[in-house]
Amino acid sequence: MYKNILFPVDMEHTAESARALEIAVEEARRSKAHLTVMTVAPGFGSPLVASYFEEGAVKEALKEVARHLKRYIDDNIPDDVEVDAVVAEGNHAEKILKQEQVGNIDLIVMASHNGQIEHLLLGSCAAKVVRHSHCTVTVVK
């Protein structure tokens, strides 16, 4: 039985994450666990990158990502599942691993999107999460 499940989703590849979402919701229901749905935006906040945007543009972009994530949750997570949303910015694997710690996560359910030969079975983000996580990780291809 799990208490806190993390489902990281790439908002540009939600269709590829559909099966992983089903598994996360099924396990949250079975365990009566809290589900955290998380998305990670690219790291726009570094001073070098931020200098290319108008002031406030990065903050507005993150607000828009949060709105998309809320809509995704409203459309896909049943009402009987306790859920919250997290939007992070930066390196995907690092932010997922950080959320594992701050959210007391005991199960991560994530999709693997990378079909490149060097990662054979897992995408680079999923491979890093599996390698460095301190909890159970289910990767859905």
Provide, rounded to the nearest whole percent, the portion of the chain with pLDDT above 70: 89
Query: Strand (E) positions, 9-120?
Result: 34-41, 83-89, 107-111
Structure pTM?
A: 0.89
Q: For 57-100, how does the pLDDT look when each residue is reduced to its tens digit (9 = 90+)?
A: 878 889 999 999 999 999 999 999 999 999 999 999 999 999 99
- Count how many domains the chain has: 1
Q: How does 92-124 read in b/e, with b if 16+ C-beta sit within 10 Å?
A: bbbbbbebbeebebbbbbbbbbbeeeeeeebbe
Report the pLDDT value the prediction gives residue 123, as an integer from 0 to 100.
Answer: 65
- Residue 47 is part of which domain span? 4-140
CATH code, 22? 3.40.50.620
